[in-house]
Amino acid sequence: MAELIEYKCPSCNGKLEFNSTVQKMKCPFCESEFDVATLMSFDQQLENPQEDNMNWSTAAGGEWQNGEADGMKVYKCQSCGGEVVADATTSATHCPYCDNPVVMTGNFSGDLKPDYVIPFKLDKEAAKNALKNHLNGRKLLPKVFKDENHIDEIKGVYVPVWLFDAEADGNILYKGEKVRTWQDSQFRYTERNFYSITRQGTLDFEHVPVDGSTKMQDELMQSIEPFNFKDAVPFQTAYLSGYLADKYDVAAEDSIDTANKRIKNTTEQAFRDTVQGYSSVIRQSGNINLNNAKAKYALYPVWILNTSWNNNKYTFAMNGQTGKFVGDLPVDNGAAMRWFIGVSAVAAAGCYLIAKLLGYA
* Member of 80, 113, 197, 283 binding another protein (CB under 8 A): 197
Interaction between residue 208 and another protein (CB under 8 A): yes
Nearest alpha-carbon partner for 210 in 198, 227, 194: 227
* Member of 46, 80, 126, 140 binding another protein (CB under 8 A): 140
Interface residues for another protein in 338-357 (CB under 8 A)?
339-352, 354-355
CA distances from 107 to 4, 74, 75, 76, 90 (A): 73, 6, 9, 12, 13
Which span (47-55, 75-83, 190-198, 239-247) binds another protein, by CB under 8 A? 190-198
Interface residues for another protein in 59-118 (CB under 8 A)?
none
* Member of 14, 15, 29, 33 binding another protein (CB under 8 A): 33
Helix (H) or strand (E) holding 126: helix 124-135
The span from the CA of 57 to the CA of 89, in Å, is: 36
Interaction between residue 266 and another protein (CB under 8 A): yes
The smaller minimum CB distance to another protein, of residues 6 and 182, is found at 182
Give the shortest CB-134-to-another protein separation in angstroms: 8
Contact 103, 303 (CB under 8 A): no
* Member of 7, 8, 38, 287 binding another protein (CB under 8 A): 38
Which span (112-120, 123-131, 240-248, 267-275) binds another protein, by CB under 8 A? 267-275
Q: Residues 321, 323, 328, 333: what is their CA dihedral angle, to the nearest 10 degrees?
A: 160
Contact 262, 226 (CB under 8 A): no
Interaction between residue 251 and another protein (CB under 8 A): no
Interaction between residue 214 and another protein (CB under 8 A): no
The smaller minimum CB distance to another protein, of residues 31 and 153, is found at 31
Which residues contact residue 329 at a Cβ distance below 8 angstroms, ignoring those fewer than 6 apart?
134, 135, 138, 140, 141, 145, 314
Which span (93-101, 108-116, 187-195, 298-306) binds another protein, by CB under 8 A? 187-195
> DSSP states of 42-54 as a string?
HHHHHHSPPPPB-
Interaction between residue 231 and another protein (CB under 8 A): no
The smaller minimum CB distance to another protein, of residues 242 and 350, is found at 350
Nearest alpha-carbon partner for 244 in 90, 110, 127, 108: 90
The span from the CA of 113 to the CA of 110, in Å, is: 9
Give the shortest CB-279-to-another protein separation in angstroms: 13
Dihedrals φ, ψ of 200, to 5°?
-130, 140
Give the shortest CB-204-to-another protein separation in angstroms: 4
* Member of 90, 223, 285, 322 binding another protein (CB under 8 A): 223
